[in-house]
Structure 1
Amino acid sequence: MGPSGQHPRRPTQPRRFRYAPLSSEHDRPTYRRPACTIDAQGRSHDCMVQEGHYTELNQTALDYVVQASYFPAIRNGHPVSSHYRMHFKFLIPQTAEP
């Protein structure tokens, strides 16, 4: 529980996803900001990636937030629906040239 006695709204089951490597011109960190509504049962709805241009990474971030389960926000001792945004940082490894 957090400092205010509320459950944190982070995923309860972290997962690792594989994603297709990008070309060597994208060898620096890249960021994604998926956002969802988390319902009172801890399920995500209406998820979308708010920032990011590479569809492979957007889809990886979206897959993560859709498949994860969450602790819902608590108001007056009861779970409630809330909007939640995450920040992903992808470190793309450089691939060896043939």
Structure 2
Amino acid sequence: MRFTFASVLLFGFAAANTLKISLFAGQDCTSPTQTYTIGNLNQCHNTRSFGSLRQSKIAQTFFGQGLRIRTYSEPDCQGIPWESQLSDNLVCDGPTPGQLF
């Protein structure tokens, strides 16, 4: 299944800080497509299609508050959701193999 659009949402409650999300076309964090610095929580950010993501530069105040990154298969935070926990370990993460968002 391939989605032509996607959206990313950081949801929860935290102080005004930021994190960086890098999106990749490949499911192993290859072929970078877009990078976002997100600071507004509970706000939808429309993106191009992606197969994986990597988090970095996460404000320490974001940890321990139950924050997650939620992606959707359609623009405006609609469609099939997928969630990722915050991690400062620079791991490659993404939807189920074969499913691009």
- Considering only CA atoms, is the larger Rg found in Structure 1 or Structure 2? 1
* Fold shared, TM-score > 0.5 on shorter chain: no
What TM-score do the two structures reach when normalised by structure 1? 0.30
